Structure 1
Amino acid sequence: MDRLRVLIVDDEPLARMRLRGLLADCVHPGATVVDEAGSAAEALHALARLQVDAVLLDIHMPGMDGMALAQRLRDQPVAPAVVLVTAHAEHALQAFEVDAVDYLTKPVRRARLQEALVRVEQRLGRSSSVAPPVQTVDVPTLVVSDRGRVLRIPVSEVVYLRAEMKYVTLVTARHRYVLDDALSDLEQRLGEAVVRIHRSMVVAKSAVRALERRAPVNGEADEGGETWAVQVEPGGEWLQVSRRQLPQVREVLARAG
């Protein structure tokens, strides 16, 4: 079955980049981003020259907002399916008024986006009762942004992830990347490949090399003036382990031994 042709409309470049990355991971149905638009005017221009199955449409934009654009698209003879995307949930009722296929709240999760694509396919009359073919096992990846580019980082290259302010830093053997995903979401996506060592840090199990009592990390210590820390490779960096997560880290080392 053909991949869905999707137009992303959002005035925030980072939000468009995140949606593009999430769409790259969607299957059954899959989707191809045919263009991006930073305003309703740009979206209308793109729709005039492109064949589009679905529009991922942010509601809050300067000028004509997403709700007004959705209403305008609804009045067209052949209209693409509209999936509204917003950081606010108060417009859910209006989404039905403009005949939106689905309504997603930010931060959008891949599984929820996949559900929206299924609804788009059903709206277009493409849904099939045939079970999807068995897929070959792909190399697990994380989608990250690097200087405006969307990159897919193999999970095998992940050393650790650290939550810092509103972003998460992903550290690999050669690079550091800044993600806009929540640490809990990334931890869930990485699954058994990682272990949480601290409320703000997740480490790849394959990267853990040692567990020791050491001098305080980031100024934190217990009553003995020390703290537990794990050494990760490559790099040999020592990372603090909280008391709560200590049993899990010991189990990882025991299994590795």
Structure 2
Amino acid sequence: MSTSPVAPLKLLIVDDEPLARDRLRALLSDLAVQLPSEVVGEAANGLLALEILREQTVDVVLADIRMPGMDGIELATHLGRFEKPPAVIFTTAYDNYAVQAFDLNAVDYLLKPVRAQRLLAALQKVPGPRPDAALLAGIGQEVRGGGRTHLSCHERGRLLLVPIAEVLYFKADLKYVTARTVEREYLLDEALTHLETEFADRFLRLHRAVLVAKTALAGFEKTAVDDAEAYGWALLRGVPEKLPVSRRQWAPAKALVKHA
């Protein structure tokens, strides 16, 4: 009785070092008899990887942790929003707290130089657990020394990236948060409190439901009459909207603009 051949694992290799990508390709070729695989693409950072993944479906992403542009940890955060997220196996030259934390949460990693049998053992875990989003966010801030470079959201079946540098403000409404850029709004599945913590150096809380980019503040005006929603209003650069400012945040926000 014949058995159907095992479909090869489809992989994407993400590393800013061409030699590291070449080594992974060579190892995968050596392991082909034990575990058939197909490398469908390579990328030098997370942003380029996401471009490929808009067109290609893969089973596994082999991602370096430290890369310019978008690192592997942030890439994994965005992959977690896919309808069918690929498994992520991290590769790194750093045997430190980050990879230990991933290991404790059953997310595999490979230390460079990657060894064939270690790579095989990692791939044999697929499909396996997916990275925990909260853990990724916390470790990512420690590794890169700051928050994510992009946020992501789904719109009409597509994953959209929102550069943090372009966000003027975040406004919470029920379970969603709206991110506003000069061009448009994006609906995010994020918590305002988490955004405030992650991007404390860039955004200021104006109101229980509003965070504003410090560089977007242009000025303030007091409400003409008693208003339950706001003590005053913040004026922004680049957009006509006004944002509510609570009594508690009025003085800190005005002081920030005065000393800018």
- Normalising by structure 2, we get a TM-score of 0.49
> With structure 1 as the length reference, what TM-score do the two structures score?
0.49
